[in-house]
Structure 1
Amino acid sequence: MYLDSILQACMAAVGKDKDSWRYTSGSTVASTWSFVLTGTMIYLILVFGGKAVMKNFKPLELNAYTQFHNIYLSVISGLLLALFFEQLLPNLSQHGLFWSICDRDAWTQKLELLYYINYMIKWIEFIDTFLLVLKKKKTPFLHVYHHSMTMILCFTQLEGTTSVSWVPVTINLLVHVIMYYYYYLTAIGVRVWWKKLVTAVQIIQFVIDLGFVYFCSYNVFVDNYKVNLPYVGSCRGSEFAAIFGCLLLSSYLLLFVNFFVNTYKRSVNAVRGKKNN
């Protein structure tokens, strides 16, 4: 309840009431496809345009800001995760898992607010890439794709009111607590032995996500089209949100597995090469 009070104070600071706020498509800030797609285009222009401009300049020293950015995202992810738990644990204990991921009433006003805050944080995370550009670090396809598309994913699930959203969102927040803390440690010069585990946890994240998302999507389509197939029951969420979520999370899993194999296979081969020499 203490965290809930903090959230109420933050909402009051911007003239909103936590208990009556609702996401309204086309009215709430950043709630239209035109805004989302324009924002994505600006992000990509700044990334690739910035890389072209920075070819003529020395890398900027932004270590202090990088430290702050990473520890801020680690802490805010942890606080938001705690707020989700505060809402989800009673639902799970009273109604069970299937109700919590599928029932129409599982999409509550308070969870909707937390989903929206999580969506807003995805815009802040664009700063990750801008810092890399300004420091003339590599910006791999996986990094740019993941950042831009995750923001769009959060938007589609808000629009589609998918009750299962809390599963990928909470796991992602947990991963980000770990990941951004890792980035913070490296930014202050601490050598971290568990770098490989960060990528492994991300892969596990997508495996779990896909299990839940494919299960719910299957139930959505079987129920909507009355297909003569066994299913558990109806699930809340639009068909577009279900399809988009399944496809995008599947692509994430494939890309992260490929990154893991390529990165750490090269590392093992490099070590073996040194030993042979």
Structure 2
Amino acid sequence: MALPWIKHLEENFDSDKQHVWFLKNWWLAFIFSTIYFVGVFVGRAWMENRPKFELRRALTAWSGGLAVFSIAGAIITIRELVDYLSHDGWHSSVCDATIFDGRIGLWTWLFILSKVPELGDTVFIVLRKQKLMFLHWYHHITVLLYAWYSYRDQIAPARYFIVANFTVHAVMYSYYALRASGFVKIPRQVNITITLMQLFQMVIGCAVNVYALFQLNAGRKCDTTYQNVAWSLVMYFSYFVLFAQFFYNAYITMGPKKDVKNRHSNEMNGNHRVKMD
């Protein structure tokens, strides 16, 4: 049962007002992304000759907060998806943009907004002087831009993107929080599982987009656009290639165990990513 104040927000969410705002201001995602990109590399230069910060407590709290948010989002959006599939079927779940209104509309909106604070993941990498991989900042920037762009267009396939991303992040940020706390020793199999979940997330993204594309080509109603499908396919396929490359380097090729562990820690901090993954 939802907390009273959350229920109040869900019942009073003004989806039309938020849509109008994004129609006018979605370009702000480019501003956030530019500030983030510049800040990341300026920060790395600033930290180059300085000792690293540990920040374990802060990282535990940060990851724990995002884990709680993602778990709540996953529970609510998965339940909505299951209910929708049982009543309206697969086609409608992909092609009818009903996730922007009502209770689920609030969580869709919160998901979109969350892509800005999630940029804070990189602050810990920079201040702790961990290796910053291309996939990390590329993923953060492109997810933010695509999420805000898609909320402007209110595309129906976003239902699957959001469910997949919330679910992966629920597991991933819980893992980060436990690892940062130092209280629990997490088996390597958990790392592998999370990366496999991320790869599956990209497969879902590509599959849903391909289905939506077929519907558009057949002249059937589907609440998306050719342009959005094209950008989304490029994004998801590039993520799949990068995560597959990481999986191969981290878990299949032979190398020093310590190096593999460090590569995984730094790379895993880069997903959300998609996450609208």
| TM-superposed deviation, 1:56 | 2.5
| TM-superposed deviation, 1:64 | 0.5
1:147 and 2:140 aligned: yes
Identity across matched positions, percent: 24
Aligned match of 1:77 in 67, 70, 73? 70
| Structure 1 residues 199 and 23: CA distance shift in structure 2, 3 A | farther
Aligned match of 1:196 in 176, 182, 192? 192
| TM-superposed deviation, 1:69 | 0.7
CA distance in 2, matches of 1:152, 1:79: 24
Aligned match of 1:56 in 49, 68, 72? 49
Tell whether the 8 Å contact from 1:77 to 1:174 is kept in structure 2 after alignment. yes
Aligned match of 1:170 in 147, 163, 168? 163
CA distance in 2, matches of 1:124, 1:34: 17
Following superposition of structure 1 onto structure 2, how do residues 114-193 of structure 1 map, counting pairs within 5 Å? 114-189=107-182, 190-193=184-187
CA distance in 2, matches of 1:192, 1:104: 39
Query: What do the CA deviations read for 1:251-276 (whole angstroms, capped 9, x no partner)?
Result: 1111100111112234x3447xxxxx
Query: What do the CA deviations read for 1:85-116 (whole angstroms, capped 9, x no partner)?
Result: 34333322211121121135565444333221
* Secondary structure of residue in 2 paired with 1:215: helix
Where does residue 230 of structure 1 map in the other structure? none
Tell whether the 8 Å contact from 1:220 to 1:234 is kept in structure 2 after alignment. yes
| Structure 1 residues 105 and 202: CA distance shift in structure 2, 3 A | closer
Tell whether the 8 Å contact from 1:220 to 1:236 is kept in structure 2 after alignment. no
Where does residue 237 of structure 1 map in the other structure? 224
| Structure 1 residues 167 and 5: CA distance shift in structure 2, 3 A | farther
**5+ residue gaps in structure 2?**
258-277
| TM-superposed deviation, 1:238 | 2.5
1:98 and 2:91 aligned: yes
1:215 and 2:211 aligned: yes
1:40 and 2:33 aligned: yes
Q: What is the root-mean-square deviation of aligned Cα atoms in Å?
A: 2.3
1:263 and 2:250 aligned: yes
Tell whether the 8 Å contact from 2:112 to 2:147 is kept in structure 1 after alignment. yes
Question: Amino acid of the residue matched to residue 259 of structure 1?
Answer: F
Tell whether the 8 Å contact from 2:150 to 2:228 is kept in structure 1 after alignment. yes
CA distance in 2, matches of 1:118, 1:88: 15
**5+ residue gaps in structure 1?**
224-232, 272-277
Tell whether the 8 Å contact from 1:61 to 1:135 is kept in structure 2 after alignment. yes
Aligned match of 2:202 in 198, 206, 209? 206
How many corresponding residue pairs?
254
CA distance in 2, matches of 1:87, 1:201: 21
Query: What do the CA deviations read for 1:92-150 (whole angstroms, capped 9, x no partner)?
Result: 22111211211355654443332211011111111110111011111100011111111
More RCO (CA 8 Å, sep 6+):
2
Question: Amino acid of the residue matched to residue 176 of structure 1?
Answer: H
Tell whether the 8 Å contact from 1:59 to 1:134 is kept in structure 2 after alignment. yes
TM-score between the two structures when normalised by the length of structure 1: 0.83
| TM-superposed deviation, 1:157 | 1.6
| TM-superposed deviation, 1:220 | 2.0
* Secondary structure of residue in 1 paired with 2:14: coil
* Secondary structure of residue in 2 paired with 1:112: helix
| Structure 1 residues 156 and 221: CA distance shift in structure 2, 3 A | farther
CA distance in 1, matches of 2:132, 2:68: 24
| Structure 1 residues 90 and 265: CA distance shift in structure 2, 3 A | closer
